[in-house]
Structure 1
Amino acid sequence: MRTSARNAGKVSDSKPLTEVFPATRGTPALTERKRAANSKLADAMPAPEPAPASKRAHKAQRKRAKKAKSSEKHLRQFLSSVTVDGDTFSVGDDAYLRMTDDFDEDEFTEVELCQMCGYTEPQEVPMIECDRCLLGYHITCLRPPLTNVPKGDWLCPSCVSGKPRRGRKAGAGTAREHLLAGGKKLALVHIQALWQEPDGSKCFAGRWYEVPENTHTGRQKHHAAREVFLTRLVDNNGVESLWRLAQVCLPDAFAQATGDDAFICEYEYDAVWQRFRRRTSDVNEDDSDWAASDGEAASDEEADGTFKPQYAFWAEKGAKGPTKGKGTAVTPALNRHKAPQQGGSEWIEAQRDSLSGLGAAEIPASSRQGEGASPLARAQAVLALTANPRTMPCRDSERAAITSFVEESLTAGSSSGRCLYVSGVPGTGKTATVLETMRSLRRKAEAGHLPAFQFVEINSLRLPSPQHAYTHLYEALTGNHVGPTTAAASLEEMFSSGGRGGTSKRVTVLLVDEMDLLVTKKQTVLYNLFEWPVRKGSRLAVIGVANTMDLPERLLPRIASRLGSRRVVFQPYTRQQLETIAKTRLEGLDVFESRAIEYAARKVAAVSGDVRRCLELLRRAAEITEAKTKQAAASMVKMSHVDDAINEMFQATHMQMMRNCCRLEKMLLAAVLMESRARGHTDVMMENVHVRLEGLCQGHSEPNVAVGAAVAAATRLGSKRLILADPGAKRLYMRMSLNVPVDDLSHILKHEDTIEWLKDLSF
């Protein structure tokens, strides 16, 4: 056999052709023509000599080591604790911060002096602190002397007599006294993260505390003497600026705090919108609207990629860790004590990233490009209801109407009151669009294009009672938690007489979500909320959000007249809009067939147009695909997988129970659904439901249903947990509400075969 010069030395002349290209088992012998063709093919295909396995493995290992060594030069290493001047600081600690170059720790005393004797001794005699002026007294030096430390708040003789509040100057006393007196040499921060830079320097991210004097309300009577507020501003500094540890506690834990460096922090404070929020036990609790603003987000190339739970707040912003920006001081912490004025370039740059925490949060880049996660797993992450996109597609006209309303309210100021009613069926993006609009308007206000304003959101689902809307609003504006009656009186004064009773000259934009839950018998709460904006000089604008489009018509005339005719209606999403939203979520992830997304969008649009159901349907289809295929990385979600998810959704237990209901029970469910939607309340009375049921029977030639039969059917539905109902003994006065999703019930009734006329009803 002849070999070409290209293959000389690689294929032997004496080797048979069948050894070079062995025939498939069971095939006949090759003909001369096939041998000639294979000979030419063998000449054209070289067979390079493979390298030894050990050599290839060694080469790959060297390549990986070189790549790892190169990447380590650009990565920072996160730490759990650092030691500075013998003191250990850990993530989650609170600490003092040096704020000046000439900081001298010797000028701060370590002990408190008695205001009566001027000494700290004798040590065995307890020294108590006045809860108003924070000065110390030996219990034996008081006149008359005390035998035990009093429980609860205690005031010194000077404060009891009504003398002006005393206190040391900022330049003297202990570190705690210097901080609370407004001194410029110390600050208080909460350590959010610790890390080591590639050059070996160690830095930390600190979230700042503020004293009441630095808030827009100033120090009020209800503020504790040691009270501080946790702000949203986070800065990065070198660990050399940390001085010593402090304790910042919730009010319940403050009684057990030891040492002089103990403070109370009950509220978080947003300086941009001048509002307060009650803290929880977790400083780093995830709340998109109150996320700490770092102002400096790291790029993916600089990130480590692995985090401990303490650093989760960085990952939520799509960053792997903080970076040290240009001009950031390391020692001491000089880059921030007094925040830049709103509207300045420094303020805009420092606050720009904080806007991602408002309203709809951006999908983290880690969800799209997470290492080790399959494309299907990343698709499930971005389709989850908790991973909202940065923008709401297909709502441009509604967003423009809301923006126009707020801008007009800010421009008009106190000249006139303004109210806006936003309505639409559930799942149409009402609240998310409003919050996204407020985020963009906040950016304009920071840039100086709009007047600064306050923004407060009230979610009626979280209120114990409708009257607690007063408490929530007053607490957000002042940081003082009082009862509904006191809060209503204070708000009445605040929004009356030209706003002289208020603490801010800014316009307040109030968002009342789930407004229909505030409807009471006398409707006093809604009347006050929509009456205050029309007061002269009130500086209040209200945006009400509810699912019922005709809610204003069902309110009392005095409320409807103040609500006005300015409305924004969110229509259910169409098939094209649902498809656009799903593709926007899945941008960069090629795991869904286009027909599969269209199929899911058509199914949901035909029932309700709820975008949440469409996203959940696609997410479940991705889960089914991943479970059925072994190689999930190379799998595609097809129409069959979406169909499996749809069948699974409609084969749920409550769906089967509704299908198996008797004729009267299905008619009663239809009457409850229609009555609930007509009245705009989730719970309805049997008396009204029975009237509507009789109307359905008379209009469709059905036999009349007695009250006893309707009550018995409601009791059976309650035992199946399809509705929540009072005991049947109340008969016409029993209250009931649906305990199943409205969309599922509508689907069952529209596809009912035994009662044909149910398909023609409008649900």
Structure 2
Amino acid sequence: MGNAGNRDKAREASSAYTKEADEEDINIQATGCMFCRRLLGEGDVLWELDWDKDREKKREECLRAYRGLEKKETPGKLPDGPQGIFFMALSALRPFASEGMLPCRESEQASVMEFLKSSLRVHIKKEVLYVSGMPGTGKTASVLDAAKRLEKARSSSSNSNTPIKFAYVNAMCLSTPSAVFAEIQRKVLGQAQKRKRGPGPGGDGEEALRQALTQAGGEVVILVIDEVDALLTQGQTVLYRLFDWMSQPAARLVVVAIANTMDLPERLLPRVSSRLGIRRVNFEAYNRDQLHTILADRLRAGGAEAAIRDDALKLCAARVAAAGGDARKALQVCQAAVQRAIDATATNGKEPEAVTAAQMDKAEAELLQRNPVAVGIMNLNLKPRCFLLGMVLELRKQNAYALPLKTVTRRYEAIMRILQQRDEGAGKATQPVSSERCAWECLEYQRRLEDCCIIAQYALEQKDDGEGPAMGLGFVSSIDVSEAATALSVAPGDEIAKELLDLQPPCPYRRLS
């Protein structure tokens, strides 16, 4: 391959990595200069992409442009006059604008800090802290804040004789699970090692890391692995090798593993789970009061309380809480509403007014319009939407990524009985709801929605009578449960979705088994 071809391949890999990094919502300010490896082309050629300061700056600009968050969002000098408060609100509502400011997560942060301190006091516990919770519940931010505060406190304390080093790795940004060793080596030792061909132990900087982490008198490494479930392989060899380090007598390593699923420890093979103990901290989804507190605190800290009316904040908090409690989505909706107010002021030349609940509702609808899957959900007929509503309710209830069809069918039948009761109460002619008919309809809706690329089948962990893994239904990767819930709740005339998603008071005919 010529030099020109190599450069083209490197550019393609850089572009792919930039897009992937954005989709995983990486905090580029926290992670700093990125390092990545990619397999390029059919020839299995491995290239290293190492961003210097200039390339790092260009990459950050590219990520901001891809998100639609160009520099207009964080202007160096805010405009004078009444409009300035809206730009202050935009700045305050950025996802990473309030580093260290995590209201409503005091208990979880205290648990993380207690684990880290106790691990250092007993000269490294043979335990892993497993942090779980739905996306946008503050898991990563809480862990990073606790680790950095501990690192800062011990570095400034004269009484501490155990130096510590903090390292953060997002497993979703790795080309392969085994690449985690090279990435940890780069973070811990400050160097990158050439990748050995082949999957066996000893490659990817593993041996150099093992020696560094078991060296007597060396610093203790607090290793935070985000999206740790991306390291799961068929034989779980990567996690086994990683946890095996901690089981060594002289190991100086504290591991905090973060994932969205609660059942990862139960999915570990016995040979992996037996290496060490697991302590859990679970982050529950934010409720509407907590989300309102977060939004109000952000605006207050930025001096922009007057930019959004309190009833609009409460509406946003209620909608997002019902759709999964993702704080990042609440911030995104508020940003969109503020941007609408700025654009409207620039168009009509009137004095800006605080964002109202109606403007917040329109901003949320506009955000949904950007996702074609969400648009498809909103345009479905009532019964297919009820099928998806049953999926959303059960996925949220079980905190799962996929469900057996029979579970969705039971929920769908309950929803159809609610609709039947309401129609009868309103004097409308109704068809009787039968379990057989609901089962047939669910099979048909499953097929149609799969053809529309709204849902897909996924392998479940449970075994189906010893005949291999059972299959379950979940949403496609381009839309998550919270976005699907929002799309269902804003579909015209769909009051049942609003009620069951707790967005309005229940009807007298509500009886959901």
TM-score range, shorter chain: 0.5 to 0.7
2: CA distance between counterparts of 1:681 and 1:460?
20
Quickly say closer, same or farther: Cα 1:369–1:397, change in 2 above 3 A.
farther
Matched, 1:370 2:69: no
Structure 1 equivalent of residue 380 of structure 2: 661
* CA positional deviation for 1:487: 4.8
Matched, 1:568 2:249: no
Using the size of structure 2 for normalisation, the TM-score is 0.64
2: CA distance between counterparts of 1:397 and 1:283?
40
Structure 2 residue runs of 5 or longer lacking an equivalent are 1-34, 36-47, 62-73, 415-433, 459-469, 502-509
Structure 2 equivalent of residue 446 of structure 1: 155
Pick from 155, 163, 166 the counterpart of residue 455 of structure 1: 166
Pick from 325, 331, 340 the counterpart of residue 609 of structure 1: 325
2: CA distance between counterparts of 1:401 and 1:664?
45
Quickly say closer, same or farther: Cα 1:548–1:735, change in 2 above 3 A.
closer
Q: Which amino acid aligns with 1:423?
A: S
Quickly say closer, same or farther: Cα 1:650–1:698, change in 2 above 3 A.
closer
Pick from 535, 547, 550 the counterpart of residue 260 of structure 2: 547
Matched, 1:282 2:16: no
Equivalent residues, number: 399
Matched, 1:628 2:344: yes
| CA shift digits 1:499-545 (9 cap, x unpaired) | 14x9x811111111011222222222223323322221111111011
Quickly say closer, same or farther: Cα 1:582–1:756, change in 2 above 3 A.
closer
Pick from 316, 319, 326 the counterpart of residue 600 of structure 1: 316
What are the residue-to-residue correspondences of 1:750-761 with 2, within 5 Å?
Answer: none
Quickly say closer, same or farther: Cα 1:371–1:713, change in 2 above 3 A.
closer
Judge conservation of contact 2:132–2:262 (CA < 8 Å) in 1. Answer: yes
Structure 1 equivalent of residue 90 of structure 2: 380
Quickly say closer, same or farther: Cα 1:396–1:537, change in 2 above 3 A.
same
Structure 2 equivalent of residue 9 of structure 1: none
What are the residue-to-residue correspondences of 1:106-117 with 2, within 5 Å?
Answer: none
1: CA distance between counterparts of 2:119 and 2:188?
19
Quickly say closer, same or farther: Cα 1:618–1:522, change in 2 above 3 A.
same
Identity across matched positions, percent: 27
1: CA distance between counterparts of 2:133 and 2:344?
38
Q: Greater relative contact order: 1 or 2 (C-alpha under 8 angstroms, separation 6 or more)?
A: 2
**Structure having the higher Rg:** 1
2: CA distance between counterparts of 1:570 and 1:287?
35
SS in 2 for 1:454: strand
Structure 2 equivalent of residue 640 of structure 1: 358
2: CA distance between counterparts of 1:375 and 1:749?
33
Pick from 487, 491, 503 the counterpart of residue 206 of structure 2: 491
Quickly say closer, same or farther: Cα 1:558–1:640, change in 2 above 3 A.
same
Using the size of structure 1 for normalisation, the TM-score is 0.45
| CA shift digits 1:341-364 (9 cap, x unpaired) | xxxxxxxxxxxxxxxxxxxxxxxx
Judge conservation of contact 1:379–1:586 (CA < 8 Å) in 2. Answer: yes
2: CA distance between counterparts of 1:740 and 1:754?
21
1: CA distance between counterparts of 2:446 and 2:104?
45
SS in 2 for 1:586: helix
Matched, 1:744 2:459: no
SS in 2 for 1:509: strand
Structure 1 equivalent of residue 108 of structure 2: 398
Judge conservation of contact 1:600–1:642 (CA < 8 Å) in 2. Answer: yes
Quickly say closer, same or farther: Cα 1:710–1:580, change in 2 above 3 A.
closer
1: CA distance between counterparts of 2:76 and 2:286?
26
Structure 1 equivalent of residue 298 of structure 2: 585
Q: Which amino acid aligns with 2:483?
A: D
SS in 2 for 1:541: strand
1: CA distance between counterparts of 2:315 and 2:412?
37
Judge conservation of contact 2:228–2:258 (CA < 8 Å) in 1. Answer: yes
Structure 1 equivalent of residue 41 of structure 2: none
Quickly say closer, same or farther: Cα 1:675–1:495, change in 2 above 3 A.
farther
2: CA distance between counterparts of 1:616 and 1:756?
21
Quickly say closer, same or farther: Cα 1:668–1:519, change in 2 above 3 A.
farther
Quickly say closer, same or farther: Cα 1:701–1:491, change in 2 above 3 A.
same
2: CA distance between counterparts of 1:526 and 1:584?
39
| CA shift digits 1:597-655 (9 cap, x unpaired) | 23322332233221111111211121222233345765322233223323434566533
Bigger mean CA deviation after superposition, 564-573 or 656-665: 656-665
Q: Which amino acid aligns with 1:480?
A: A
Pick from 127, 134, 150 the counterpart of residue 425 of structure 1: 134
What are the residue-to-residue correspondences of 1:128-527 with 2, within 5 Å?
Answer: 279-283=50-54, 285=56, 370=78, 372=80, 374-414=84-124, 416-448=125-157, 449-450=159-160, 451-478=162-189, 479-483=191-195, 485=200, 487=202, 491=206, 494-495=209-210, 499-500=214-215, 505-527=218-240
2: CA distance between counterparts of 1:505 and 1:761?
63
* CA positional deviation for 1:374: 2.1
Judge conservation of contact 1:516–1:681 (CA < 8 Å) in 2. Answer: no
1: CA distance between counterparts of 2:357 and 2:392?
32
